[in-house]
Amino acid sequence: MNNFKSNIINQFQISEIEADQIIYLLQIIFSDLSKVAIILIPFLYTGYLIEYFSILGLTLVLKSQAGSFHFKNYWSCLIFTSLYFISILLLMKLNINKNILIGLGSLAVIIIAILSPMLSEQKKKIKRLNIKALKIRALAISLLYVSFFIIKNNPFTHSAIWVVIIQSSLLLIQKGVSHVTKR
């Protein structure tokens, strides 16, 4: 990787931080695209393609601002991400009272407001992150998702509220894990 980084720095005449940002972005793109393609296959064959893309789009928007779990191993991440998508699909199929979901969604928004963003160690190394802006955008996105559900309960908004609830749960778990590992 160091040769690749040196080549980027020399060829494009950029700083080391900018090269780190490019490498990080390329790693994310290749890793995420392969996971998206692999997880797409069972959703395609079971007829839940629209739900898959709803969950994917909603998750990418919120997770890019709020952060989430980060695994060092590709396969662990793939398995966890698969379980995430399947869990949201199954939760959407449950017949849970709308008021209970609104309450859970409201609690989730508060959790996201307090705990976000949760950044990976690699992302923390990239210096030009505005943590306050990430937090505000994560809060705005989660509020928007819950508001959409309150205004109109359809499959898309139903997946949106579950994305907020699960994402906040993951932030709570991640906070607990990082707190325990620091001790």
Per-residue pLDDT tens over the stretch 12-35: 888 888 888 888 888 888 988 999
**Predicted local confidence at residue 51, as pLDDT:** 95
Show the domain range for 72: 49-182
C-beta neighbour count of 138 within 10 angstroms: 28
> What's the structural domain count of the chain?
1
The helix or strand, by DSSP H or E, that contains position 1, with its residue range, turns out to be: none
**Predicted local confidence at residue 122, as pLDDT:** 65
Token representation of residue 32: 């995420």
**pLDDT tens string 71-99:** 888 999 999 999 999 999 999 999 999 99
What DSSP character marks residue 47?
A: T
Q: Which residue has the tokens 């695209």?
A: 33
The answer to whether position 132 is within a domain reads yes
Distance of CA 80 to the CA centre of its chain: 12
Distance of CA 158 to the CA centre of its chain: 17
C-beta neighbour count of 179 within 10 angstroms: 9
Type of residue found at 125: K
Residue 179 confidence (pLDDT) above 60: no
The answer to whether position 20 is within a domain reads no
The answer to whether position 9 is within a domain reads no
**pLDDT tens string 130-168:** 889 999 999 999 999 999 999 998 999 999 999 999 999
Token representation of residue 177: 């894990």
Across 34-58, average pLDDT: 95
Evaluate whether 165 touches 105 at the Cβ level (below 8 Å): yes
The answer to whether position 16 is within a domain reads no
The answer to whether position 28 is within a domain reads no
Q: Is the peptide bond before 117 cis (omega within 30 degrees of 0)?
A: yes
**Predicted local confidence at residue 20, as pLDDT:** 83
**Predicted local confidence at residue 183, as pLDDT:** 61
The answer to whether position 14 is within a domain reads no
Taking alpha carbons only, the member of 78, 163, 174 closest to residue 119 is 174
**Cα gap 17→127, rounded to integer Å:** 8
Residue 100 confidence (pLDDT) above 80: yes
The answer to whether position 134 is within a domain reads yes
The answer to whether position 170 is within a domain reads yes
Q: Please state the pTM of the whole predicted model.
A: 0.84
Secondary structure E strands in 82-137: none
